Amino acid sequence: MDKHPDGKTMNSIAFSKYGKPEQLNKISVSYPHGFDTKSNVVIKVHASAINPVDKALLNGDLKMVRPVAEFPHVISYDVSGVIAEADEGGVFDVGQPVFARLFGNAGDGKKTPWYRGAMAEYCVADVSNVVVKPSNLSFEEAASIPLVGMTAVQVLNAAKLKEGDSIFISGGAGGVGTMAIQLAKHVFKAGLVVTTASAGEKADLCKDLGADVVLDYKTTNFEEVYAEDKFDVCFDTTNESLGMTNVIKQGGRIVSIAGMPTLEEIRRIGGTAWILKLFLKRKEKRKEYKAAKRHSADWNYLFLSPSQEDLAMLANQLESGTIKPVLDGVWDFHSDDKTTGWKGAFNRSFSGRAKGKCVVKFEE
């Protein structure tokens, strides 16, 4: 890792090799430098959120698609904070509160020298991935939004969900699920929103967010319940696309963000490694796609793409109160306690039991 010309450093949560959560450590890394100051800003981090993809990256599950450019690598890519450095006369001003999703190379083939995650005191973000923080949100709430919010928006758009449609969303109490329910019901104006969650607090949360029906996935088979009353759209967050082909209407659309991606989707986001061809199938060869076609429906896989437009739309909806953040909890970056400190946040998020998002705060 290149050192800052002046030796300036910052604290971060990073990993030096692929592996289990135990590989994450609080370490000192160089302060950001060497980036294009006209197209990037430095954000003083107030909060950073954890997502399932962070676990996949840490495990090495994504190294054929999005390999870590160099170690140690700072983890997590959802961030909120204030602008610490910006090009004079540019889009953002120093001191401005913002939130962002860090996309790094974004498949453009260029190595951004100081691209790494947001679980650090400062991070670098391309201005095209940054928007002003809604004034009614805390920094912790704002940090919880980017990945789950934009993923939900892009899936619902890809599925062509329209007012009055019926939609089935699996895993409604998860990070993406909580946003998908709200957006489907309150923004896209779906006529019927059905989801799955465990009975109790998680089911109650889904209903509070706008779900019309919540099925207890432990005791109820959605394929049996909706064998006749089928859906216009199915949103798969739990790798249940194949079962969804039995509850999709003719002309309906299933979009998945779970399980193995398609070769087309990997290529779309810039993954070109030849070895991918050994493991991935074209969409037309996937059993989910074939099953959907037998029901005169469509199936697609989607990876999140950079979109300032989508993030700005979410900011507007959040500021108006149409949708709201859902946080499982907030943990302290400065504490190494396994329960209340940053380790507790990763343990909770990686457990898969969180209701909404796990966020680490840096500033009071």
Q: For position 279, what pLDDT does the model report?
A: 57
The CATH homologous superfamily of the domain defined by 147-301:
NAD(P)-binding Rossmann-like Domain (3.40.50.720)
Burial class of residue 347 (count of CB atoms within 10 Å of its CB; 0-12, 13-18, 19+): middle
CA 101 – CA 76 distance, rounded (Å): 9
Name the phi and psi angles at 208, rounded to 5: -65, -30
Q: Cα separation of 344 and 339, whole Å? A: 4
What pLDDT does residue 109 have?
42
Secondary structure (DSSP) of 3-49: PPTT--EEEEEEESSSSSGGG-EEEEEEPP-SS-TTTEEEEEEEEEE
The Cα–Cα gap between 12 and 47 comes to: 12
Q: How many CB atoms lie within 10 A of CB 1?
A: 11
Residue environment code for 77-101, b if the CB has 16+ CB neighbours within 10 A, otherwise e: bbbbbbbbbbeeeebbeeebbbbbb
- For 9-145+325-361, CATH number out of 3.40.1010.10, 3.90.180.10, 3.30.1490.110, 3.30.1360.120 equals 3.90.180.10
- Residue 236: C-alpha distances to residues 46, 96, 233 (Å): 32, 36, 10
What is the per-residue pLDDT for 36? 86
138-154 pLDDT, tens digit each: 999 999 999 999 999 99
* Sheet containing 73-74: order of strands: 25-30, 9-15, 73-74
pLDDT at site 277:
57
- Provide φ and ψ at 66, rounded to 5°: -130, 75
Domain ranges of the chain: 9-145+325-361, 147-301
Rounded to an integer, what distance in angstroms lies between the CA atom of residue 252 and that of residue 186?
A: 21
Max Cα distance, the chain (Å): 67
The whole-angstrom separation of Cα 125 and Cα 104 is 8
Low-confidence ranges of the chain (pLDDT < 70): 1, 104-115, 270-280, 364
pLDDT attached to residue 242: 97
Q: For 199-214, what is each residue's pLDDT tens digit?
A: 999 999 999 999 999 9
| Gap between the Cα atoms of 44 and 333, Å rounded | 14
Same fold, 9-145+325-361 and 147-301: no
